[in-house]
Structure 1
Amino acid sequence: MHTRALLTRLVRHTLILALPLALTPISAHSQAAYPDKPITMVVTVPPGGAADFVARTIGEALSKQVGQSVLIENKAGASGTIATAFVAKAPADGYTLLQGAISTHGIGPHFYTKTPYDPFKDFMPLGVVAEFSLVLAVNANLPVNSVQDLIDLAKKKNGQMSFATPGAGSAPHLTAELFMTEAGIKMLHVPYKGSAPAVVDVASGQVDIMFDGFPSLMPHIKSGKLRAIAAVSPKRNSLAPDLPTFAELGFPKMISSLWYMPMVPAKTPKEVVDKLNQALIKSLNGTEAQKRLEAGGAQLVFGTPADSQAYMKKEYDRWGVVIKNAGISTSN
């Protein structure tokens, strides 16, 4: 009995010592295997438009780099709030990404008095930013060929001209508000759920003008249904070098861009964040995907997740001032 008890205790002791050793390789293997299933990137707008174009281009490039499919899921509504809140509550395992944007992390938290997420506490950017300078375009049948023509017509119509946007609180919306303040005019805001339906109605003449990125506007500019008037950027747009900037025309404060950055829930393990950061940079920097994005008017900025956080904070602060000065917000 003494021998049997001794053997029993010895076996138990051996199993206890072996347990951590048995678990360690499995844990290490599971981390090293990431990703071992498809990744989903949630986009805040419907298919079509700059955000969707960026997400699909980045998703395709990232998929080739990590060896797993990157699925695009469009969740439109409330200027991206619906999609952003969804990802904020998603498992922090690296399998659900958000196509974060100026509307969700630069403007929305100021514009909406209540948002179901914190732009900084709930998310970690992945170190890649795609910027699109905005362009002012008008319906081709509008008797407007310059910014001054537009200002004169808006004053003549006394607030009856209309401008379309991808949604209340979006970068195009705030850019139009800034323009009205700088030009001393009033226009009617017509919000849509995304750029694609907005640009269609401007091209058809149901709405007069809109600010947006070239990926949304270019097909209709080429078809002759829209006329580009000016670029909202520090320097001329490479896709339309003959188009003057607002700064050249006497509006130095008219600088705005759409920007997008992939991000994950904040509690995602650092190893996964670093792996995604490195994979994104390798898949985009100097690749065909980068050329495709640049051909669509984007400028890519590469860095660390901390670099992207600093970029986001700067934009958050700048647009907070614009919104406060314009006195616009919503209780939603």
Structure 2
Amino acid sequence: MASILKGTSILVLAATLAAPCLALAESAYPAGPIRLLVGYTPGGASDIVTRTVAAALGKQLGQSVVVENKPGAASNIASAFVASSKPDGYTLLLGTIAMSINPSLYKNLTFDPVKGFAPISQVASSPFMLVATRQSGITSVPDLIDKARKAQPSLTYASAGIGSGANLFMEYFRSKAGIPLVHVPYKGTVPAVTDMLGGRVPLTFDNIMTNLPLVKEGKFVALAVSTKTPAAIAPDVPPLSQFVPGFEATAWFGLFAPAGTPRAVIDKLNAATVKAMQDPQARDALDKMGAQAVTSTPAAFTTFYKAEIDKWGAVVKAADIKPE
């Protein structure tokens, strides 16, 4: 009995001594550079948002926030890496709307999309823009709906691939509007746009960062944006909900840490993120892209993230979308 009590006392003593050390480590955080992973290649919208956030967050934390691109598998490679990383606040993920789509598309994920992460804060959002080619002759959403109901064969739309945002947003619209549309998936945005410009596909519903420049060049016709209100960067383009009641969707970006990251670290990162996204330089960079800074508490972001998984899971199921 004495030996058991002695062993227990040693464990209690060890825990007592460890607690102040852990608290000290958390209060000193961050004591070195932070890795911020993004699941896409350099140069795209997600990468640009990530680098904007990294620069602003680094200023607030007083440490370098180093962006690391780890593309592949619709961002699942980066997500899996972060979910399995040490939960110390030094490896973070810039997640996108793909994180809420992938759980319903991929049945054999190597990480738990909810339990594997500690959400920190949303950082930005961006509307999608529904566009048609000039060659199509489609000039408005009512015109599109009318033509879609009468077209033989059915109208087609392009996307960057099965399960991409462009695919899901258009399927959500198609379902809400009750119209037939045929999906033509490509391996990326560039080949999709190339075929649209060649007159082979008339429609797409992609991020405003991708579509607005082509609208300004006169190559695409802007029909609507996905958000409840017009986008500041394109105030004359109406919300889709004006024609299809109940439609609302947005592309979002947010910061995640591995599950198990100490609460003190999450709170410090959240506070720094809120201040970072108020930085005029960061806000201006996002505004020019057609995005806007958005922040939230860890609890609110967790609730939002779970709701997005449910929302897009229902769209995937209704459209019977299968991964490539």
**Which residues of 2 match residues 1-332 of structure 1 at below 5 A?**
30-104=25-99, 106-154=100-148, 155-159=150-154, 161-165=156-160, 167-181=161-175, 182-193=177-188, 195=189, 198-199=192-193, 202-203=196-197, 205=199, 207-249=201-243, 251-285=244-278, 287-330=280-323
Paired amino acid for 1:173: N
Residue 88 of structure 1: how far off its partner (Å): 1.1
Q: Distance in 1 between matches of 2:173 and 2:102?
A: 19
Paired amino acid for 1:64: K
For the residue of structure 2 that corresponds to 1:293, the secondary structure is helix
Distance 1:323 1:20, change over 3 A: closer
Distance 1:95 1:191, change over 3 A: farther
RMSD of aligned residue pairs (Cα, Å): 2.9
Q: Deviations over 1:64-96 (max 9, x none)?
A: 111222222222222222221121112212121
Residue 295 of structure 1: how far off its partner (Å): 3.9
Distance 1:26 1:254, change over 3 A: closer
Residue 279 of structure 1: how far off its partner (Å): 0.9
Paired amino acid for 1:236: P
Aligned to 1:13: none
Distance 1:132 1:21, change over 3 A: closer
Q: Distance in 2 between matches of 1:140 and 1:35?
A: 52
Residue 278 of structure 1: how far off its partner (Å): 1.0
Residue 136 of structure 1: how far off its partner (Å): 0.7
For the residue of structure 2 that corresponds to 1:79, the secondary structure is helix
Q: Is the 8 A contact 2:225 2:240 kept in 1?
A: yes
For the residue of structure 1 that corresponds to 2:74, the secondary structure is helix
- Greater shift, 26-35 or 134-143, is seen at 26-35
State, as a whole percentage, how many aligned pairs show the same letter: 38
Q: Distance in 1 between matches of 2:74 and 2:61?
A: 30
Which TM-score applies when normalising by structure 2? Answer: 0.84
Q: Distance in 2 between matches of 1:107 and 1:162?
A: 19
Larger Rg: 1
Q: Distance in 2 between matches of 1:197 and 1:58?
A: 29
Q: Distance in 2 between matches of 1:149 and 1:98?
A: 41
Paired amino acid for 1:217: N
Q: Deviations over 1:207-232 (max 9, x none)?
A: 43321222222222222232211112
Q: How many residues align?
A: 310
Paired amino acid for 1:234: K
